[in-house]
Structure 1
Amino acid sequence: MIEFILTGDYIQMIQLLKATNLVQTGGEAQIVVSQGEVKYNGTVDTRKRLKVKQGDLVEFRGHQILVK
């Protein structure tokens, strides 16, 4: 499990995927989110600009990201 320390109120989903090095570019992040490859708190979510906040769990290709 990846623990991501949030420094502000939130981080956008595509930025989180880039910050944790699970995708190489913002374009790749947008594609995988829009194709339904990302789960947000257990549910597939296709919103690219989704505001991920402290306590949220994101799952992508076998990786889990816990936002702290």
Structure 2
Amino acid sequence: MRLSAGQSAEVTTAFIELLGAHRSRQPQRCTCLDVGRRYLYESRASGFRREIEIDRDGLVVTYPDFWQRG
């Protein structure tokens, strides 16, 4: 998203279960905490929040309580 530190963007993503046919829209907000490295993910539909870490290509490296890329 190329956000500056402290800048936020509201987006809608799709959640697709791999083993099922369930799909859902997920309204969310992403706030840049550290340019090119850390973002705060917040669901706009619930109180869910996680700080995620990305790599230089913008792909998620760490998603606390769910997974970490090896």
TM-score scaled by length of structure 1:
0.28
Higher strand share: 2
Comparing both structures, which one devotes a greater share of its residues to helix? 1
Q: Which has the higher contact order (CA 8 A, sep 6+)?
A: 1
Give the number of the structure whose alpha-carbon radius of gyration is greater: 2
